Chain A
């Protein structure tokens, strides 16, 4: 009945040394089917694995879904309003200021639930985009943020003890790029930012505040935008057309890109219902009216039809690109020397070895440098010591000399004093003698005077 089969015979002796015969290499589905003619097995009855997709869906419902949107656009262009309208919830109230010195990203996570599907939605807004006078570094924070999310996932994936099924996936699945409705062409900042982001994230450009453009202008604007994007090689996200069920609608939507959207959470009475709309003196722009704007199309494409594909593209294309780039940067290769497939473990061990060696070298270098510096300092200090010593000696000598001089002077002085004392003594003696002599005379005089 069953025509052919692929049988792999693996010979294992039941104990002792293991013989390892060469095995036919692992082939993937298409190859197996063409090369070895695995044909379908026909079953004679109902087995029951048609419930497999349901089992898969049940598991996904249990786990919950996760979706991350990045909104890039100038301040005041209507990003928050559009997100509110898309998910029909008032997420945030504040308007952001125009005076930030550089672009920041603000991420907020919400848990939404519709029937039995739980969605963890993360909205990342660029704050201050396009407000600076010098906009050269505007795109850098955005790129850094996206890379940081990839890096976090890569780190988790490379861990030894990891828990990927519990991991809250924060990688950006889609970037809504808001284009101002000038009606002419893309701004340079927009073109530059989109060109840089297109290899990192799925970009869906939207024309914001589309109620400012008339229908005819809109058509021309769209054509101009798409041609500019194409001519500059910007790869925006194309809705997938490989599955028949959604190919038709997706390809028709591809022709409507970029979507011209209007966002509003205000309700206006039109006819006999309350609809979301913007009221002007000249009329009411209804958000959910396909004739007025492409909001419904955007919601269809973004959420109802392609959410899963956006997530898959992020994981299999953008993340893999980042991963490959990062690992190659670290020096890992798939093919080692002699074209034998090198194991990442090997490369990792080699790298670790290398790093340890380098670290050891650096340690030694630093030790040496330290020792050297210590020696130099010692020399300097010794010299200083010597100098001090010399100075001290010098001073001592000077003091000695002065002291000697002083001593001499003192001696001289003492000699002079003694000489003087002697002189004084002798003069006193002379005086006494003369006094005595004169004393008598004086007495005589006095006596004489008395007699006078």
Chain B
């Protein structure tokens, strides 16, 4: 068990990089390294967790009910405007933040709803506000990260997961769905679900699911869990099982009924009670397990390591691609709500032209 020596590295201006470590020396007696796991847990419990989820879909698909069912509480105090009043003329994004605690674990949950999505007659570019919101959260994080005096813990408002509600037509994805998914998959983790699945029979659900999977593959839409981020063999197996069932056919309900003596969440109809948490009735438990019980940390990691980094690269590269000289653009922190990626280049071009005209 002769440990291979790393190369001796005298102090120099270039940091000496320790090289060729020994692989997997097993320690013969107790040292105590595994206690670091407990230390991690204690630290995590003290700091609490953050999770930001966004639900997107046309009105009436049961988004708010779904969120209530997921977190077993009335997340939305009152039903958002879309349900009661007239269809809103503009797409509004509404965010709600709650702190929920379970067995000592604190979770700061932020849910963003999008009433008015896809409700207009002309839905062209209806994804812009949503993309703008997502990018704005990235921008906020980036600004905090590049400060000189940074906060100890940067508040994370980036959207970790976007649940997209597909209406249960039974045919295939509509053009609006495809456009939206194509754009959003590049910026955020998207989990598509078949909403109001209690209007489809099991066979219809399967057929619908197959067709949607086919559509996704054809248009090269990479939904969560993305194949390219599977590292370990266990992850691959687990994720491929999940990928088989995407999109989940879900039903949301926040009323309780008595079935066989038990109290269950469900929708009561004249022909029976649809139990939400019964896997034979709908796939809500799968969605809940994916989002909360097993893949929450993974969602956050992919958002931080992949989507946020992509945004950062794009953003930092913008300043380099712009021409130098009297026409270079003032990159002061963008005003809130402005989707940067769409507008920055045009602003730059305009200003360059103005200056060159002056010259």
Q: Which residues of A contact B (CB under 8 A)?
A: 1-2, 4-15, 18-23, 26, 28-29, 32-33, 38-53, 55-62, 65, 86-92, 104-120, 122, 141-142, 144-145, 148-149, 151-152, 160-162, 164-165, 168, 170, 243, 245-246, 299-300, 303-309, 312, 316, 320, 323-324, 327-328, 332-334, 340-346, 348-349, 352-353, 356
Contacts and interface: CB of A to CB of B under 8 A. Distances in A.
A2 B319 contact: no
Given A15-B122, A28-B155, A303-B33, A109 B94 contact: no
A243 B45 CA distance: 11
A89 B27 contact: yes
A114 B31 contact: yes
B295 to A, nearest CB: 8
Contact of B316 (A14, A49, A52, A160): A160
A141 to B, nearest CB: 4
Interface stretch (B145-153, B171-179, B198-206, B209-217): B145-153
B309 interface: yes
A309 B43 CA distance: 9
B218 interface: no
Contacts of A29: 48, 108, 155
A211 to B, nearest CB: 22
A352 B102 CA distance: 51
Contacts of A170: 15, 17-18
Given A38-B97, A55-B298, A344 B289 contact: no
Chain B binding surface SS class? loop
Nearest to B114: A12
Interface centre among B18, B94, B101 (most CB of A within 10 A): B18
Given A88-B29, A343-B146, 8 more contacts: A1-B74, A2-B74, A20-B337, A41-B73, A43-B71, A52-B49, A303-B31, A345-B316
B18 A112 contact: no
A22 B336 contact: yes
Contact of A14 (B3, B96, B129, B324): B129
A20 B133 CA distance: 12
B180 interface: no
A6 B93 contact: no
Contacts of A41: 71, 73-75, 98-100, 109
B227 interface: no
Please provide the 8 A-B residue pairs with the shortest distance between their CB atoms, ordered closest to farther: A12-B129, A109-B18, A55-B297, A304-B32, A308-B39, A304-B35, A20-B337, A152-B15
Contacts of A324: 148-149
Given A89-B27, A334-B148, A343-B333, A49 B97 contact: no
Nearest to B41: A53
Contacts of B343: 18
B339 A18 contact: yes
B331 interface: yes
B37 A60 contact: yes
A88 B28 contact: yes
B330 A346 contact: yes
Nearest to B320: A160
B149 A87 contact: no
Contacts of B120: 14
A245 B43 CA distance: 11
Contacts of B98: 2, 5, 38, 40-41
B70 interface: yes
B32 A14 contact: no
A53 B332 contact: no
Nearest to B116: A14
A115 B15 CA distance: 32
A141 B12 CA distance: 8
